[in-house]
């Protein structure tokens, strides 16, 4: 009986060690990219999820999912804490979903599905690291920006439209604001990143454009 208990403890310690290693792998990637949740955070998430799953199996013999089911609720609070509004978009979504996925890795380890957890970690790292190349390609070919351009009169709005057309960019007006002789128009502009760069150069050199920002 003692041998079985010692063997069980050794297995659990091994599972906890594995969860820490997998947390290190995922956390190192996030730390390298200087994200809001880094190395220590992901180690603790993976380790904590693993330990809670082990305890859920040990304590809740008749209802083994009692504790483990609440891990997802707790992870939801952590994920919400790293999501914040940037200048033009919501940031932290990828880190929040990585936290969620890492907790599933910890739960898989705690349940004894070690091979599944290694496969899951591998896929997470592939998605986080290598698919960024596809994101950059899409961003280069299909860049969406919000420009705020100030001109002196209403007729210059059509002038701005011609500038967009000349630079092979699609556009639509988002909103307009008139203040003390200046008409400020917000545009949603879509096109290649290289065309956006040409647009900015043209806007800086154009005398009819009072100011712009994006």
Q: Which of 107, 130, 153 is the last residue of a domain?
A: 130
Q: Same domain for 116 and 176?
A: no
Q: Same domain for 69 and 169?
A: no
| Inside any domain, residue 136 | no
Label residue 26 by pLDDT band (50, 70, 90).
very high
Supply the pLDDT for residue 96: 87
Separation between Cα atoms, residue 179 and residue 184, nearest integer Å: 8
- Asked if the model's pLDDT at residue 193 lies above 80, the reply is yes
Tell me whether strands 143-151 and 182-191 are parallel, antiparallel or unpaired. antiparallel
Q: Same domain for 148 and 125?
A: no
Q: Same domain for 155 and 60?
A: no
| Inside any domain, residue 180 | yes
Q: Same domain for 92 and 190?
A: no
| Inside any domain, residue 135 | no
Label residue 118 by pLDDT band (50, 70, 90).
very high
Q: Same domain for 20 and 119?
A: yes
Alpha helices, H only, the chain: 2-32, 39-59, 69-81, 93-110, 114-125, 132-141, 156-166, 193-205
Q: Same domain for 126 and 180?
A: no
Q: Same domain for 19 and 123?
A: yes
Structural domain of 161:
142-213
State the pTM of this model. 0.71
Taking only the tens place, the pLDDT of each residue in 127-173 is: 888 777 787 888 888 888 888 988 887 777 888 888 898 889 998 88
Q: Which of 130, 164, 187 is the last residue of a domain?
A: 130
Supply the pLDDT for residue 203: 85
Q: Same domain for 59 and 150?
A: no
Domains held by the chain: number: 2
- Asked if the model's pLDDT at residue 4 lies above 50, the reply is no
Report the CATH number at residue 195.
Answer: 3.30.70.260
């Amino acid at each position: 009986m003692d041998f079985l208990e010692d063997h069980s403890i050794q297995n659990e310690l091994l599972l906890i060690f594995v969860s820490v290693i997998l947390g290190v792998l995922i956390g190192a990637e996030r730390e390298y990219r200087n994200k809001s949740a880094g190395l220590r955070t992901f180690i603790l998430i993976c380790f904590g999820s693993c330990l809670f799953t082990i305890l859920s199996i040990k304590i809740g013999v008749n209802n083994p999912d009692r504790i483990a089911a609440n891990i997802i609720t707790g992870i939801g609070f952590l994920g919400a804490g790293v999501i914040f509004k940037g200048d033009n978009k919501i940031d932290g979504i990828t880190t929040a979903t990585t936290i969620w996925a890492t907790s599933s890795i910890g739960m898989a380890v705690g349940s004894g599905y070690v091979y599944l957890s290694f496969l899951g970690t591998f896929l997470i790292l592939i998605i986080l690291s290598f698919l960024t190349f596809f994101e950059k390609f899409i961003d280069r070919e299909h860049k969406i920006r919000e420009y705020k351009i100030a001109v002196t009169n209403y007729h210059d709005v059509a002038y701005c439209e011609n500038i967009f057309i000349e630079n092979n960019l699609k556009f639509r007006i988002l909103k307009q604001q008139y203040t003390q002789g200046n008409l400020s128009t917000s545009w949603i502009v879509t096109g290649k990143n290289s065309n956006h760069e040409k647009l900015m150069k043209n806007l800086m050199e154009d005398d009819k454009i009072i100011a712009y920002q994006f």
